Amino acid sequence: MEKFTVHSGRAVAIDRPNIDTDQIIPKQFLKRIERTGYGEFLFWDWRFDSGGEVIADFVLNDPRFKKASILIAGKNFGCGSSREHAPWSLTDYGFRVVIAPSFADIFHNNSLKNGLLPVVLTDDEVAYLIKQADENLPYSLRIDLDEQTVRDAGGFRARFAIDPFRRYCMINGLDDIGLTLQHESSIADFERRRGLNSFSASS
C-alpha cells in the first residue's frame, strides 16, 4: 500500500448524499480478480448513458477535473453493499482522499485498508469546500495526515479525526499483508519449530 503523509491535489465535488457502492462501481464490473483496472468503470452509470456515450454534464467528464485526486461528497458516502472494489475503483481512477460529512462504516474501513483516506468534516465545512470546488477553478487542497488537517490556499483549515492505528498504517503504507510481514521472522521461526516437532513425532 502506498504511504500517505501529505497529499496536495485538485478537488472535485459530487454534491449528492447517500452515494452507494453500486453507484461507485456497478455490480457488472466485479468479475475481475485483480485489484487494478477498476478506475475506468468508476461511476459508470453517471459517466455514460445506456449506449456507452459520455454524459457531458457529469462533473468527472469535465476536462477541468481530469486530474482531480480529492473527491468531496455528501453524507453517508459508500453506503450499500460491502465491496472492496469501491475503494479500489476510486484509487485506480486517481483519488487519494474522499471528504464527506459521514461514511458508511464498511466502506470507511475498506478505504483505510486500501490506501484511500476518508476524511470526515462537518456539514458546514463540506458545504464550503463543495462551493469552492464548483466556483473557484482550479481548486486545490492540502491534506496532512500527520497533523490531521485539511487546508486550502485561501485560509481554510479544518481538523479531522482518525483512529490512531489506522493513521499509523496509512503513514507507513501497511495493509493487512504488510502488518503480517512485520512479524515475518517470528512466523518463520514458528514454522521451523513446528516442522521440527512434526518430524520428531513422526519418527
pLDDT in tens, 30-64: 887 778 899 999 999 999 999 999 999 999 999 99
List the one residue out of 111, 14, 23 whose CA is nearest residue 57.
Answer: 14
State the cell numbers at 26: 456497478
Quick one: pLDDT at residue 32?
77
Q: Delineate the domains of the chain, giving CATH numbers in brackets.
A: 6-172 (3.20.19.10)
d(CA 49, CA 52): 5
In whole angstroms, give the CA distance from residue 42 to residue 87.
10
Q: What pLDDT band is residue 183 in, cutting at 50, 70 and 90? A: very low
Greater confidence, 117 or 189?
Answer: 117
Assign 195 a pLDDT band (cuts: 50, 70, 90). low
Query: What is the grid cell recorded at 41?
Result: 468503470
Q: Report yes or no: 69 and 95 within 8 Å, Cβ to Cβ.
A: yes
- DSSP character at residue 64: G
Collapsed DSSP state (helix, strand, coil) of residue 103: strand
Phi, psi angle pair for 128, to nearest 5°: -65, -45
Give the chain's length.
203
189 pLDDT band, cuts 50/70/90, is low
How far is Cα 8 from Cα 167, in angstroms, rounded to an integer? 18
* Nearest-angstrom CA–CA distance, 171 and 130: 27
Distance from the Cα of residue 103 to its chain's centroid: 11
**pLDDT value at 201 more than 80:** no
Residue 199 has pLDDT above 50, yes or no: no
